[in-house]
Amino acid sequence: MRRFILLFLLLLAPRMADAGSTLDLAGIAYEQRNGASLPLNAALSDDDGKIVRLKDMLQGRPLVLTLGYFHCASLCDVVRTNLLAALDQTLLVAGRDYSFAAVSVDPSETAQEAAAVKAKDLEAHPAFPPEHFHFLTGQPDTVASLAEAVGFKSRSPRESRFVHPLGVVLIAPSGVVSGYLLGIGYPPDELRAALRGAGAGVIGPTASPFLLLCYDFDAATGRYTFAIMKILRLVSAATAAIALAALARVTFGGRLRQ
């Protein structure tokens, strides 16, 4: 069912983009670089203002990495919300089984902004140990080197706004790219399997080339450059339907067996 939804959106998205956008989207995607090494000594600023390096977040654990920006008015918040909910449902333990890093690609953002977003994001997950959830900012060259290492291709058509792909990168403890989960919506079982593989140092296969971009309302034209809210409503409705169907199978299937 999820694959059907993704295929439907994949077919629908280019038509929506063509209808409402004058922006050149060529090349904006994750160029999947499974097996590529990260710049482990790259210094970023954590949400508490302290310098942290990528190697410090690994320490024998895989890293769940997402790139975006904290003041985004479109989908970055949705990605993190869905990802944290999925991590919670994997029953894996942060600090033992993985670490988490959300990196801003906007060099103007500060540790204070990162801290505010972290507090909001973790409010729904009080059991998460904050010290293993990093909300990071950095200098342009540092962030660019990380983005290049994981194949994150973005563009900034207007000041402080970014067009970028959506997804999650799984980093092995050795500091190489293990795999990707692209788009929005991360089933806990798939995320758990991806993290287990990353933790074991497995270099996974290339993910399905599902492309969903994050950008928002163009005040100059009065149009959405990407009709994203329609897509989100479709995803939400389909997800709810799948959850209800699964609940019905468990509830009524169990009764029928009794």
Q: Which 3 state secondary structure label does DSSP give 101? A: strand
According to the model, what pLDDT value does residue 27 have?
72
Average pLDDT (54-60) is 94
Q: Indicate if the pLDDT at residue 255 is higher than 60.
A: no
Q: Could you please report the per-residue DSSP string of 51-82? A: EEEHHHHHTTS-EEEEEE-TT-SSSHHHHHHH
Task: Dig out the tokens for 126 from the structure.
Answer: 């009080």
Strand partners, 63: 99, 171
Q: At what angle do helices 76-90 and 188-199 cross, to 10 degrees?
A: 80
Averaged pLDDT, 70-77: 86
pLDDT of residue 168: 95
| Range of lowest pLDDT (77-86, 121-130, 229-238) | 229-238
% of the chain exceeding 70 in pLDDT: 69
Average pLDDT over residues 101-125: 95
Distance CA 88, CA 135 (A): 18
Q: Do 211 and 13 touch, CB atoms closer than 8 A?
A: yes
- Reply yes or no on whether the pLDDT at 218 is more than 70: no
**Domains annotated on the chain, with CATH:** 25-217 (3.40.30.10)
Residue 201 to residues 60, 62, 173, 198, Cα–Cα distance (Å): 10, 8, 7, 5
Nearest CA among 93, 105, 174 for reference residue 131: 93
At residue 231 the predicted structure's pLDDT band, cuts being 50, 70 and 90, is very low
When pLDDT is cut at 50, 70 and 90, the band that residue 50 belongs to is very high
Q: Coil, strand, or helix at residue 163?
A: strand
pLDDT tens per residue, range 167-197 = 999 999 999 999 999 988 899 999 999 999 9
Higher per-residue confidence, 178 vs 228: 178
Mean pLDDT of 111-133: 96
Flag the least confident range among 3-7, 44-48, 90-94, 137-141.
Answer: 3-7
Q: Looking at residue 246, what is its pLDDT?
A: 53
Q: Taking the complete model, does pTM exceed 0.85, yes or no? A: no
**Among the ranges 179-188, 203-212, 225-234, which has the highest mean pLDDT value?**
179-188
Q: Which tops the pLDDT comparison, 236 or 34?
A: 34
DSSP-assigned letter for residue 131: G
Burial class of residue 170 in the structure, from the number of CB atoms within 10 Å of its CB (0-12 exposed, 13-18 middle, 19+ buried): buried
Mean pLDDT score of the chain: 80
Instruction: Give the residue with greater pLDDT, 53 vs 221.
Output: 53
- In Å, how far from its chain's centre is CA 163? 14
Hey, CA dihedral for 194, 198, 202, 206, is it positive or negative? positive
